[in-house]
Amino acid sequence: MKESTTSSLQARFVTESQSEMTELVLPNDTNPLSHLLGGRLMQFIDLVAAMAAYRHARAHVVTASMEHIDFIAPVHVGDLVILKASVNRAFRTSMEVGVKAWVENAIAGTRHHIASAYLTFVAIDANGRRVPVPPVVTEGGEEARRYEDAGFRRQRREQEKERKRQNRAAYETAVKGAT
């Protein structure tokens, strides 16, 4: 069982905020081939992820980023899209949420995985100021693996931010030197 130490708030189990959503794919959601639009699927993913983050933080949340989204197979009009979201890890004011989506053909009685994504949400108060979020408590297995992986992804994002900062600084120095 793992618990982050970044907050004095009461820690919450992953299962307390897990969220699920089911959508019927209608013609308005599709392209001329009657396949679900990628942007519409991203909207479903953002919504179900926001529900989990909102439940975990018990505060307003905004999407800071959506990363690593794979669209594995097309979804057709008339299919059901089932989405499940879990808070993988909470940091100081941000949380990583993982979403997995499946398509179900109710007539054929089949279900398969179509997409996965990781999103980061930041908790804010009514004035838009960032607020701390409670730590996540995992109960082993997949939850513990996702918790660890979320830490690696955050590390990678921070390294990338630092690399961009250094590139910008080097560019500004070069421009100043040339004038």
Ligand X SMILES: CC(C)(COP(=O)(O)OP(=O)(O)OC[C@H]1O[C@@H](n2cnc3c(N)ncnc32)[C@H](O)[C@@H]1OP(=O)(O)O)[C@@H](O)C(=O)NCCC(=O)NCCS
C-beta separation of 17 from 55 below 8 A? yes
Q: To the nearest whole angstrom, how small is the minimum distance from the Cβ of residue 64 to ligand X?
A: 4
| Cα(140)–Cα(118) distance, integer angstroms | 20
Which residues are at the interface with ligand X (CB under 6 A)? 62-65, 91-94, 120, 122, 130, 157
Q: To the nearest whole angstrom, how small is the minimum distance from the Cβ of residue 19 to ligand X?
A: 18
DSSP 110-170: EEEEEEEEEEEEEEE-TTS-B---PPEE--SHHHHHHHHHHHHHHHHHHHHHHHHHHHHHH
Question: Is the CB of 21 or the CB of 47 nearer to ligand X?
Answer: 47
Q: To the nearest whole angstrom, how small is the minimum distance from the Cβ of residue 132 to ligand X?
A: 8
Q: Look up residue 11 and give its DSSP letter.
A: P
Question: Is the CB of 25 or the CB of 48 nearer to ligand X?
Answer: 48
Question: Is the CB of 111 or the CB of 130 nearer to ligand X?
Answer: 130
Question: Is the CB of 148 or the CB of 173 nearer to ligand X?
Answer: 148
Q: Which secondary-structure segment (H or E) carries 60?
A: strand 60-71
Residue nearest to ligand X (CB): 91
Q: To the nearest whole angstrom, how small is the minimum distance from the Cβ of residue 92 to ligand X?
A: 3
Q: To the nearest whole angstrom, how small is the minimum distance from the Cβ of residue 14 to ligand X?
A: 17
Question: Is the CB of 128 or the CB of 140 nearer to ligand X?
Answer: 128
Name every residue whose Cβ is closer than 8 Å to that of residue 156 and which is 6 or more positions away in sequence.
Answer: none
| Look-up of token digits 């980023």 | 65
